[in-house]
Amino acid sequence: MSAEVITFEAAVAQLPPEWPHDLFSQVQARVKAAGEKVVVLDDDPTGTQTVHAVPVLTEWTVEALCHEFETDFPAFFLLTNSRSLLLPDAKALNIEIGRNLVEAASKTGSRFAVISRGDSTLRGHFPGEVEALAEGLQQRFDAWTLIPYFLQDGRYTIGNVHYVAEGEFLIPVGETQFAQDATFGFHASDLRQWVAEKTEGRLTADEVAAISLEDIRLGGPERVTERMLDLPPGAVCIVNAVSMQDMNVFTAGLLEARASGRQYLHRTAASFIPVRAGIPPRSLLTVEELNLPQEGGGLFVIGSYVPKTTTQLSHLLAANDVSAIEIDVNSLLNETDRGEEIKRVIAAVDLFLDIGDDVAVYTSRRLITGDNAAKSLLIGQQISAALVAIVRGISVRPRYLVAKGGITSSDVAVKGLRVKRAMVLGQILCGVPVWQTKEESRFPGLTYIVFPGNVGGPEAVANIQNSLRRTE
């Protein structure tokens, strides 16, 4: 299939029907019998957007990992926020985590499998941090899999081409705004060509393997196992997928290949994770389940610059009773003005929260970039640091907190709220996870909503604010 815009309906019509047998219960039983803990290294906190009732850690000392290995949870997440780092720092972080996992597993007699969770629109340090993770784990992997499929926001891989859904249409990812990212931009939509692009030709497109939808839907788990066992040493293998049943079939075949002694390292988006960990789906969280206090105002911290976020912000401010505080990014990037701008925003947030208003704090919408990827990343770090300073500076506890954008939500959690371990309760919207903070955080028991920058329709943020309004 060529990399062209196509309707989802037309794309699916060209495919074989899904594998007819339900495999999730079989996968779940096999995962439990294997006794492995699934460890997910998440390059921003949005990877928790498909799971529930599992912990997420923002530290990875051997002691913390030993504790987590001894719990009964099927999986846990390590929030690395490596997408906000320069490549050398991201690699060093992955090596450190890999080594600590090996040491903690040895001390506790635990077995584990690792997933490197990355962005479904292909922004991130690939292959660098995956290579570093493999080095830290001190383990020979027979192959890597690349699985950017993410059902909850319409990311599909068909004919090795990765697509982003926009309404009824599927847009090749290389033709979207995500491919123009100042730090992680790319050209290719065909994932074989994308791997060649990102490895700077060390792997050619022809050398990249793929498990097709025909393999999955016509051959089933047995064909997947056969394809996985046939991969040459060191291969990178793309996995095509359009549905969660495709994930179930692939995972069943993968587990059979692993039972033969093969080892695989996975770079994936979020939809693979619950299947691999045997976590069943659950319905969206209700307002009643969140058990929010009746007093106080909610706080929205919006740092993401993707066009979808800007559209959602406009709907939030236009359609709802929200007190708006715009942060002047030019002032944040000016050392003379930075401190005063942060103080101004903190005072305004405290004032509005104290009278029970919902508050939206957002960066001015003109994107400022550097003249290369590293300088653009550093500008983003400066802006995120200011958002952290604002959250740390407020004195009034929010009724709940919504952070919009991957890097923003990570920095707000780790540096602003001082979260070391939180529980993922589930999702409030498809692809939008909800955490509950623990005792060590700045606001224990806070409902913290991690809203990815590129998820949801135009009114999604406004709908959350409306649904969480206090009842009189």
Average pLDDT on 216-227 reads 98
Domain ranges of the chain: 6-277, 287-467
Instruction: Answer yes or no: are the C-beta atoms of 165 and 155 closer than 8 Å.
Output: yes
Q: Is 224 left (phi over 0), alpha (psi -120 to 50) or beta?
A: alpha
Q: Tell me how far apart the alpha carbons of residues 58 and 351 are, in angstroms, rounded to a whole number.
A: 30
Smallest CA-to-CA distance from 129 within 165, 192, 80 is with 80
Tell me the pLDDT band of 368, cut-offs 50, 70 and 90: low
Backbone angles phi, psi at 213, to 5 degrees: -70, -25
Instruction: Answer yes or no: are the C-beta atoms of 364 and 386 closer than 8 Å.
Output: no
Stretch (H or E) spanning 198: helix 191-198
Average pLDDT on 145-157 reads 96
Superfamily of domain 287-467: Four-carbon acid sugar kinase, nucleotide binding domain (3.40.980.20)
> pTM, whole model, 2 decimals?
0.91
CB within 8 A of 365, min separation 6: which ones?
Answer: 305, 310, 313
Six token digits for residue 387: 């958002």
Tell me the pLDDT band of 383, cut-offs 50, 70 and 90: confident
Q: Tell me how far CA of residue 381 lies from CA of 200, 353, 374, 377, 410, in angstroms.
A: 26, 26, 11, 6, 12
Note the pLDDT tens digit of each residue in 181-206: 888 999 999 999 999 999 999 999 99
Task: Supply the DSSP symbol for 405.
Answer: S
Task: Supply the DSSP symbol for 144.
Answer: E
The DSSP code sequence of 59-77 is ---HHHHHHHHTSS-SEEE
The answer on pLDDT for 370 being more than 80 is no
Note the pLDDT tens digit of each residue in 296-339: 999 999 887 677 888 999 999 997 789 999 988 888 888 888 89
Chain centroid, CA 366 distance in Å: 25
Amino acid code (one letter) for 278? G
Q: Tell me how far apart the alpha carbons of residues 10 and 15 are, in angstroms, rounded to a whole number.
A: 9
The answer on pLDDT for 75 being more than 80 is yes
Q: Tell me how far CA of residue 109 lies from CA of 72, 106, 141, 272, 328, in angstroms.
A: 14, 5, 21, 26, 52
Q: What is the pLDDT of residue 1?
A: 42
Q: What is the pLDDT of residue 178?
A: 92
Superfamily of domain 6-277: Putative sugar-binding, N-terminal domain (3.40.50.10840)
**Cα pseudo-dihedral 37, 38, 39, 44, rounded to 10:** -150
The percent of residues in the chain predicted with pLDDT above 70, rounded, is 97
Across all residues in the chain, what is the average pLDDT?
93
Note the pLDDT tens digit of each residue in 244-278: 999 999 999 999 999 999 999 999 999 999 999 99
Note the pLDDT tens digit of each residue in 90-110: 999 999 999 999 999 999 999
Q: What is the pLDDT of residue 305?
A: 65
Identify how many contiguous H helices and E strands the chain contains and give both numbers. Answer: 17, 19
Q: Tell me how far apart the alpha carbons of residues 309 and 455 are, in angstroms, rounded to a whole number.
A: 8
